[in-house]
Chains A and B, each alone.
Chain A
């Protein structure tokens, strides 16, 4: 990770921390704000990925995967804002589903990193497992015990955890193959 990428990662971590504090302070409509931020972020990322594909990556071996990624992420971004309009319960369920999905992706990437002997796999695996546990606990409290405030707080704690791990990762030593 370069210096610039470290700063960017840290800033995203800080943004996540601010989002979680908004949720804790305004549990009633904080989810709408989070959904808005998530939607815009995903849409921008999706569009940037598609621009990257059409200007550069379409000439690259395996570049079509980048196209699919751009379409899917952009679709997620648009879908997020439409869900926010329907009902807070749907929105919370959707955000938790995204959380579980992110946790699963982390676990899969950790297993892949372990297979390739990359040193970061343990940290990533722990992050993925914690994400899924937090989402499950949130489901139990929010949907089964119907305690919306508790659900919001648990989700916010999960967000704080993700933010902290992102900031720690930004300052971890990263390794590359030194070419001569």
Chain B
């Protein structure tokens, strides 16, 4: 997912859940900041680098394929962008080595998303924003794993886009190009993806890189053969997945706000936005690569307030100028605490399932820097 959903749509979901404009801004800023909080940025801020929630392209390119580097990559990408759906998934006749990767495949409505939302309960709005990023990505990034793996994340040329026409769809073969400098072109179904790398642990085989940005576009529907799927075709319907993500975010946000007593899997609050559903679906189905403008206009119409554009520098001075003992109380300090708690929770859940692919983390306290 991109800024359109992590920032603007998250703002709208928070507003539907009953948060004030100011609270919505903090939540959506934090949700979007997950895509920016890298080791490099934290080093610049002299902040704890193990709170990184993403890795920059250059950071990824310079990391090795040794066990320590792979664990570091997996901790970040599985905790924040590809939350595993079932850490105890079984597949007959497979080695433990294979299962350790297979069990990291991201799916919505797994037990870990309940833990993620519950961990954000009674905590900062930054922790709430982080949880919303993770939840939304379980829908967009499903069927890929947040660890480099050819045998899980590879795709082949069997890729077809389903384009709405009349009451049905027409099919068009998707062509992947491997030059990241080229733009994606929905008009011709030519998209950019990572190059095939036969090395199992190549960084090119992380997440949905082999399927390009298709999972990040709300408008697209396509069918393909996932590497792990035993030649069973998957049809991915992003407009449907994204509306479910939106409704589930509202459900989770209402739980976090105290409106609902619990948060369970497969629960969605479609009622909250019923009068606006057609309008939201129209935005989701707009065939453009960046519907930020549409989401922003909708959010501003909803709250009657201006939604300022995401500015990565917005809270950095507050953090760097705060004395050490007060850093936890700054916006970024609260984000860092929330990020470390989430990473610790997911890493230990993976470890306790008998899977060493993400390493081990000491249990992070729910509050405070230590």
Residue of B nearest to A179 (CB): B207
Provide the A1-27 mask, 1 if CB < 8 A to any CB of B, else 0: 111110000000000000000000000
Q: Does A57 contact B (CB under 8 A)?
A: yes
Q: Does B1 contact A (CB under 8 A)?
A: yes
Provide the B259-283 mask, 1 if CB < 8 A to any CB of A, else 0: 0000000000000000000000000
Stretch of B55-63, B308-316, B360-368 lying at the A interface: B55-63
CB within 8 Å of A: which B221-271 residues: 225-231
Whether B204 pairs with A176 at a CB distance below 8 angstroms is yes
Whether B179 pairs with A3 at a CB distance below 8 angstroms is no
Whether A176 pairs with B60 at a CB distance below 8 angstroms is yes
Task: Count A-B pairs with CB separation below 8 Å.
Answer: 111
Known: A2-B203, A113-B178, A116-B176. A177 touches B35 (CB 8 A): no
Whether A117 pairs with B95 at a CB distance below 8 angstroms is no
Most buried by B among A3, A118, A180: A180
Whether B227 pairs with A177 at a CB distance below 8 angstroms is no
Residue of A nearest to B158 (CB): A61
CB within 8 Å of B: which A26-64 residues: 52, 55-57, 59-63
Q: Does B81 contact A (CB under 8 A)?
A: yes
Q: Does A175 contact B (CB under 8 A)?
A: yes
Whether A62 pairs with B154 at a CB distance below 8 angstroms is yes
Known: A59-B91, A176-B60. A4 touches B66 (CB 8 A): yes
Whether B207 pairs with A119 at a CB distance below 8 angstroms is no
A5 to B204, alpha carbons, bound, how many Å?
12
A63 to B149, alpha carbons, bound, how many Å?
13
A4 CB → nearest B CB, Å: 4
Q: Does A174 contact B (CB under 8 A)?
A: yes
Question: Which residue of A60, A63, A176 is within 8 Å of B61 (Cβ)?
Answer: A176
A103 to B65, alpha carbons, bound, how many Å?
29
A177 to B60, alpha carbons, bound, how many Å?
11
Q: Does B193 contact A (CB under 8 A)?
A: yes
Q: Does B94 contact A (CB under 8 A)?
A: yes
Residue of A nearest to B101 (CB): A56
Known: A3-B63, A61-B225, A119-B179. A179 touches B151 (CB 8 A): no
Whether B98 pairs with A61 at a CB distance below 8 angstroms is no
A117 to B177, alpha carbons, bound, how many Å?
5
Chain B contact-residue range equals 35 or more
Q: Does B97 contact A (CB under 8 A)?
A: yes
A106 to B151, alpha carbons, bound, how many Å?
25
Q: DSSP class of B's interface residues: helix, strand, loop or mixed? A: loop
Question: Which residue of B1, B202, B229 is within 8 Å of A180 (Cβ)?
Answer: B1
Residue of A nearest to B191 (CB): A177
B223 CB → nearest A CB, Å: 14
CB within 8 Å of A: which B193-210 residues: 193-195, 198-200, 202-204, 206-209
Provide the A144-180 mask, 1 if CB < 8 A to any CB of B, else 0: 0000000000000000000000000000001111111
Q: Does B2 contact A (CB under 8 A)?
A: yes
Whether B62 pairs with A3 at a CB distance below 8 angstroms is yes
Whether A117 pairs with B179 at a CB distance below 8 angstroms is yes
Q: Does B150 contact A (CB under 8 A)?
A: yes
Question: Which residue of B65, B200, B209, B213 is within 8 Å of A56 (Cβ)?
Answer: B200
Provide the B115-155 mask, 1 if CB < 8 A to any CB of A, else 0: 00000000000000000000000000000000000110010
A116 to B208, alpha carbons, bound, how many Å?
18
Q: Does A66 contact B (CB under 8 A)?
A: yes
Q: Does B156 contact A (CB under 8 A)?
A: yes
Residues of A within 8 A of B27 (CB): none
Q: Could you list 16 examples of A-B contacts with CB < 8 Å?
A: A2-B69, A2-B202, A3-B61, A4-B66, A56-B101, A59-B102, A60-B150, A60-B151, A61-B226, A61-B230, A117-B178, A119-B181, A175-B181, A176-B194, A179-B207, A179-B208
Q: 17 new A-B pairs (CB below 8 Å) besides A56-B200, A57-B200, A180-B54?
A: A2-B63, A3-B62, A3-B63, A5-B65, A52-B200, A55-B95, A55-B97, A59-B230, A60-B151, A116-B179, A118-B178, A176-B194, A176-B195, A176-B204, A176-B209, A177-B213, A179-B81
Which 4 pairs of residues, A with B, have the shortest CB-CB distance? Answer: A4-B64, A117-B177, A118-B178, A60-B151
